[in-house]
Amino acid sequence: MNIEFEGQYKEEQYIRAIKMVITPSRKSTILRIAAFIVAAVVVFLVYNHGMQDGQFDEIDSNRFRLALFFGGLLTVYLITPYIGITATAKRLWKKPSVQKVKSGSISDEGITYNDRLKPWDSFRRKYLSDDMVLLITGDQGMSLLPRQFFKEESEWRRFREMVDQYAVKAKRY
């Protein structure tokens, strides 16, 4: 049984989908924050050690500057992945190919766009929300299928069931 779909992306949905893909994982974010906290503690301890007698000598001052420098580098490392996510998503939205009408069909074999089949086992990640399904292939290809692409609610529900049933290799996020 094939399910036909056709539609055009809404800007808000497309940008949200791109943000889902390029935002670092929770694990990565936690590790970055932990590294930042460790660096902040080290800077505090170096400062505290240097101020034991109420003033810095030259060696303690250099240690403190070095600790601040590396703390600054770590801060840049922490925030870099988050800078520009929205700008990147909006830039991608402006591409004419993104704003074209998308159509195709979904079957037990996979998702077909313009006579090109993406088999279910090619998907490595899946993002599911109430209003859209985003599937990512191993070569970073993206299949974004919002609810409004389907004519009937029953087709949308059947598609969601097929994603759960056939995209078993895809890790859910």
CATH number at residue 141: 2.30.29
pLDDT band at 83 (very low <50, low <70, confident <90, very high): confident
Prediction pTM value: 0.74
Beta bridge partners of 134: 127, 144
C-alpha to C-alpha distances, 163 to 35, 123, 167, nearest whole angstrom: 37, 10, 5
pLDDT tens digits, one per residue of 5-15? 999 999 999 99
- Residue 146 belongs to a domain: yes
- Residue numbers of the domain that contains 144: 3-9+101-172
Q: What is the mean pLDDT of residues 134-157?
A: 93
Compute the mean pLDDT over every residue in the chain, rounded to the nearest whole number: 89
In a domain, 125, yes or no: yes
| Reported confidence tier of residue 54, pLDDT bands at 50, 70, 90 | low
**Domain assignment present for 153:** yes
In a domain, 39, yes or no: no
Confidence at residue 72, expressed as pLDDT on a 0 to 100 scale? 87
Q: Is residue 121 part of a domain?
A: yes
DSSP state of 126: E
- Whether 61 maps to a domain, the answer reads no
pLDDT bucket at 119, cuts 50 / 70 / 90: very high
Q: pLDDT tier at 101 (50, 70, 90 boundaries)?
A: very high
Q: Specify if 112 maps to a domain.
A: yes
Closest CA to 2 of 112, 95, 102, 90: 112
The total of other beta-carbon atoms located within 10 Å of residue 131's CB is 12
Residue 78 domain-assigned? no
Domains contained in the chain, number: 1
